[in-house]
Amino acid sequence: MAKEITLRYGCNPHQTPARVFMSGGDLPLEVLNSAPGYINLLDALNSWQLVRELKAALGFPAAASFKHVSPSGVAVAAVPLNDTLKEIYAVAGRDLSPLAEAYARARGVDRMSSFGDWAALSDTVDLPTAKLLGREVSDGVIAPAYEPEALEILRKKKEGKYVVLRMDPVYEPEAMERREVFGITFEQRRNDRPVTRDDFKNIVTQKKELPESAIRDMVVAWITLKYTQSNSVCFVLDGQVIGVGAGPQSRIHCTRLAGTKADLWRLRQHPRVLSLPFREAIKRPDKDNATDQFLQPDVTEAEKATWGNVFTKVPAQLTSEEKRTWLDNMTGVVLGSDAFFPFRDSIDRAAQSGVKYVLQPGGSNRDDAVVRACDEYGMAMVFSGVRLFHH
């Protein structure tokens, strides 16, 4: 382990010099390949904490796909991938270990946002996971260890420029953390509070039942929100985040963003989308872009004119009624929020995306109105009492 790593530049190329270092002792991470950048390391250290905590809380291999210090996808290997998800995640016919399945879920849920991602993995990277990483457009990966054959694959990626980091799995930082902004040092106790089952006991709605699957998905939501730039909302199903809304200043805008992503994930499983007539040799990122555009409601004629380059024939888009019918079959979704809902509007939006369970801190002056909204939709809502802002 090194005491410091000199970086090419900071957040932007004109921000030089740049480095990471420890005030005492060696860094808890080792560069096994290439040279990480400033943003790479911000993504790496945030995503590592997320997957480490998920593995500790649930016991399943965990994976995260990060972009700009927020997850575009998170998953644990709690539920086997079905054939439809294998197809939309482009892993059908591949040998998948539990860790590889977790990353396939994390990467595949929002392939548009995950393009050029940073990957974090809770367990030793095995050969199936390395092969999956090897074919994706990705900047780097952090994990506690790598099998020799897996490391060899990753070292060849991007002509040897793929960043591979090994994190000391037993490293624990000091309780107090500091950072400097505009020459001023901020200090606080780091957010080391773990999630516990007691966080889900205060069910404030008429519906009181929380199946184990919902508690598991609330744990995934809780830990994901802890490492997502605020404001943040996420939708979770089967141990997998299916939509993240990170960064908007308004809670309803977070919910709309996350809900739209969850809806797109569901619509990608529609038989009409699965049978889109792609031309041979079309690359996966181009398929992802075309699929996303196909599912948008406001595609222009000029945009449609380009579809002939991707499809063998121009497909008819799904109607609003067809989309709504398909989305109405999605249910059992968990909605998590890093802070309270100030109005019922987020609950109304969540109901359109199959949400049946809600996790939030509570504490708004309008909590009663939000609870009533959940009761109207037959949702169970938990007040955790724990705000999860991350800046």
The pTM of the whole model exceeds 0.95: yes
Mean pLDDT over 161-182 rounds to 96
The CA distance from 104 to 91, in Å, is: 7
Dihedral pair phi/psi, residue 179, rounded to 5°? -150, 155
Active-site residue 253, yes or no? no
At residue 23 the predicted structure's pLDDT band, cuts being 50, 70 and 90, is confident
Contact 85, 107 (CB under 8 A): no
Cite the DSSP H helix spans in 23-97: 38-58, 83-88
Question: 132-136 contacts: CB < 8 A, separation 24 or more?
Answer: 132/91, 132/94, 132/96, 132/100, 132/103, 132/104, 132/107, 133/103, 133/157, 136/107
Mean pLDDT over 151-172 rounds to 97
> Which of helix, strand or coil describes residue 92?
coil
Query: What pLDDT is stored for residue 2 in this prediction?
Result: 85
**Residue 248 pLDDT > 80:** yes
* Positive/negative CA dihedral, 96, 97, 100, 105: positive
**Residue 106 pLDDT > 90:** yes
Q: Which of 231, 261, 270, 356 is the catalytic position?
A: 231
Which amino acid type is present at position 371?
V
The CA distance from 137 to 288, in Å, is: 13
Q: What tokens does 372 get?
A: 């009533």
Dihedral pair phi/psi, residue 60, rounded to 5°? -95, 150
Distance separating the N- and C-terminal Cα atoms of the chain: 28
As a whole number, the mean pLDDT across the chain is: 96
Q: Among 78-87, 198-207, 293-302, 321-330, where is mean pLDDT lowest?
A: 293-302
Query: What pLDDT is stored for residue 305 in this prediction?
Result: 87
Q: What tokens does 209 get?
A: 């039942």
At residue 27 the predicted structure's pLDDT band, cuts being 50, 70 and 90, is very high
For the segment 295-352, what is each residue's pLDDT rounded down to a tens digit?
A: 999 888 888 888 989 999 989 999 999 999 999 999 999 999 999 999 999 999 999 9
Query: What pLDDT is stored for residue 164 in this prediction?
Result: 98
Mean pLDDT over 161-186 rounds to 96
**Residue 354 pLDDT > 80:** yes
* 253 phi-psi bin (left φ>0, alpha ψ -120 to 50, beta other): alpha
Mean pLDDT over 172-200 rounds to 96
Query: What pLDDT is stored for residue 1 in this prediction?
Result: 76
Which amino acid type is present at position 89?
Y
**Residue 25 pLDDT > 90:** no
Helix, strand, coil % (nearest 5) of the chain? 40, 20, 40
At residue 254 the predicted structure's pLDDT band, cuts being 50, 70 and 90, is very high
CB half-sphere exposure, 149, CA atoms < 13 A: 5
For the segment 211-229, what is each residue's pLDDT rounded down to a tens digit?
A: 999 999 999 999 999 999 9
Q: What tokens does 313 get?
A: 């024939």
Q: Which of 40, 46, 55, 67 is the catalytic position?
A: 67
Among 183, 193, 186, residue whose Cα is nearest residue 227: 193
Question: 10-15 contacts: CB < 8 A, separation 24 or more?
Answer: 10/38, 11/38, 11/39
For the segment 258-309, what is each residue's pLDDT rounded down to a tens digit?
A: 999 999 999 999 999 999 999 999 999 999 999 999 999 988 888 888 898 9
Active-site residue 391, yes or no? yes
Active-site residue 231, yes or no? yes
For the segment 132-160, what is each residue's pLDDT rounded down to a tens digit?
A: 999 999 999 999 999 999 999 999 999 99
The number of residues making up the chain comes to 391
Active-site residue 67, yes or no? yes
